[in-house]
Amino acid sequence: LELPPGRVLMPLAFGTILGGMTTLIGTPPNLIVSNFRAQSGAGSFGMFDFTPVGLAVAVVGVIFVALAWRLVPARKQQGAGDFETGSYRTEVRVLPDSKAAGMTMVDLELVLDEADALVFGVVRNDSHLTAPQAGRLVLAGDILIIDADVATLGKVLSELGLQLEEAVKPEPEAQEKEQASGDATKEEASAAEKEAAKTKTPPSDDMALMELAVLPMSTILGLSAKDMRLRMRYGLNLLAVSREGTRSKARLGSLTIQAGDLLLMQGSSESLAEFSADSGCVPLAERELKIPNKSKAVMASLIMALSVGAAAFGLLPAAISFALGVLATMALRTVPLRAVYDAIDWPVVVLLGALIPVAGAMESTGTADLIAHFLLNSVAQGHAVIALVLILVVTMFLSDLMNNAATAAVMCPIAIGTASVLGAQVDPFLMAVAIGASCAFLTPIGHQNNTLILGPGGFRFTDYWRLGLPLELLVVVVSVPLLLWVWPL
């Protein structure tokens, strides 16, 4: 389509925000609103109590975004000049259950060509075939030498069921050196290195991937992966090498490192940093390489399904259900502990931890009732419908300026107080808070989705209102009648 990235990213971000309004677990404000309802004595909202209004608003909003995407400014992304690494030379092993097993070379080349990857050779039984015949069958256990960029490499591994091959297998190398030397001192040193490698090699779940650029002053120039003894000295694996201008057919383990090469290394963060300092290589921006793990994927899907099912059928409160799900993924090592820790948004946790007691104090001290009285007497003039619209609009405004979950925590006591003063049902007002807190379309700081697209879309702070303002007005127009119909005052 040749569209600027921003014209795809902003509709995508807004669409995901709208979709979150449809269920209890779709967005944090819904959970907070449900918690305040339970504290008021009315019980928690069910999984799909948000669906009648939320789904209608989401459908109308998505249709509007799909039609009005031209309102999004067309700018180049800020990272357009970022460093691109190009393709990697790497080795992958054909597993017994791989789709590539049994293919002819010509069929495999067609599949790789569609993924923008190239195959340069096959290693079978220690024999290196640099130009395999087109009709030769690919067998389980073969090692394919391919060129692909980072994104394509992950795609090829996943689709064909291939496995990244280490550049050097440490044990055979150590044994060869021991047998060749016949020297007791060298044997002891090799054994010591082996033991050190065991202590340096982290669990598979703690492995990190990093790109390193080889500088002209690097100490590893002219060395191969075998010469560097990465596994023995650092507990690292060399997975791939990117080199511009030449396409060597040498195997990865024997490829001589040159200035300008990019190395894709696997190991612990500490070992990667140590190697970078020792070798004089420069670490580049982190790149993600999704290495498929089918067993963990199935386990993660099962845990997710059980957590959602327990919450949806009311077997457990949503907070407990998903907390147990997280604990299960940690206990079964489906997700690395470090990844769980890194995924926690600690500033939001601290913010909510501070604001929820404040919201409770507003309710217990009567501050929420005072604010509700002020809004009703000064603005709504005692009209319940106007008060409902006011709660919705004020929540939207606050959500554009602060975290949406924090906005829900602040506005829920005011909504409950407003319903109490009017003698009306509390549900429509709490639902208005849930919708308003989720609809933060005017700034990049109101919702995480808006923040994520700020840089890649090349946006400025003031760009969001062009599509966001008419969308928020549309949400108000659509949601208020539905709230009054589904949740009567």
Q: What is the pLDDT along the chain (489 residues), one digit of tens a residue?
A: 567 777 888 888 899 999 988 888 888 888 889 888 888 888 888 888 899 999 999 999 999 998 988 888 776 654 444 444 456 667 788 888 888 888 887 787 787 777 677 776 778 776 766 556 667 788 888 887 777 766 677 777 777 878 777 655 554 444 444 444 445 444 544 444 444 444 444 444 456 778 888 887 788 888 887 788 777 787 777 777 776 645 555 566 677 888 878 888 877 777 888 888 888 888 875 555 555 667 777 888 898 889 888 887 778 887 788 889 888 888 887 877 777 777 777 776 776 677 667 767 766 777 766 777 777 667 666 678 888 888 999 898 888 888 788 888 888 888 888 888 888 888 999 999 999 998 888 888 778 788 778 777 777 888 888 888 999 999 999 999 999 999 887
Instruction: For the beta carbon of residue 110, count every other beta carbon within 10 angstroms.
Output: 11
Q: What CA–CA distance (Å, rounded) separates 96 from 243?
A: 31
Q: Which fold has domain 88-164?
A: Alpha-Beta Plaits (3.30.70)
Cβ-based neighbours of 154, under 8 Å, separated by 6 or more:
288, 289, 290, 291, 292
pTM, two decimal places: 0.60
Distance from CA of residue 14 to its chain's centroid? 17
Query: What are the E-state strand segments in 160-261?
Result: 162-164, 208-213, 237-242
AA identity, residue 256: T
SS3 207: coil
**Domain spans of the chain, in order of start:** 6-78+344-486, 88-164, 170-283, 294-343
170-283 — its CATH code? 3.30.70.1450
Q: What CA–CA distance (Å, rounded) separates 156 from 234?
A: 28
Cβ-based neighbours of 341, under 8 Å, separated by 6 or more:
none
- Nearest-CA neighbor of 340 among 351, 348, 331? 331
SS3 98: coil
Instruction: For the beta carbon of residue 451, count every other beta carbon within 10 angstroms.
Output: 13
Q: What CA–CA distance (Å, rounded) separates 33 from 9?
A: 29
Q: What is the CA radius of gyration of the chain?
A: 29
Q: What is the dihedral of CA 261, 264, 267, 268, to 10 degrees?
A: 80
pLDDT of residue 180: 47
User: What crossing angle do the helices spanning 150-160 and 105-114 adopt, rounded to 10°?
Assistant: 130
pLDDT of residue 246: 52
SS3 90: strand
pLDDT of residue 178: 44
Instruction: For the beta carbon of residue 181, count every other beta carbon within 10 angstroms.
Output: 13
User: Within the chain, what is the greatest distance between any pair of CA atoms?
Assistant: 97
Instruction: For the beta carbon of residue 153, count every other beta carbon within 10 angstroms.
Output: 27
347, burial (CB in 10 Å: exposed 0-12, middle 13-18, buried 19+): exposed
Q: What is the dihedral of CA 152, 155, 156, 158, to 10 degrees?
A: 160
Which letter, b or e, does each residue of 412-449 get, where b requires 16 or more Cβ atoms within 10 Å of its Cβ?
bbbbbbbbbbbebebbbbbbbbbbbbbbbbbbbbbbbb
- Nearest-CA neighbor of 480 among 422, 413, 432, 415? 432
Q: Do domains 88-164 and 170-283 have the same CATH topology?
A: yes
The secondary structure element, H or E, covering residue 89 is strand 88-94
Q: What CA–CA distance (Å, rounded) separates 203 from 328?
A: 19
pLDDT of residue 288: 55
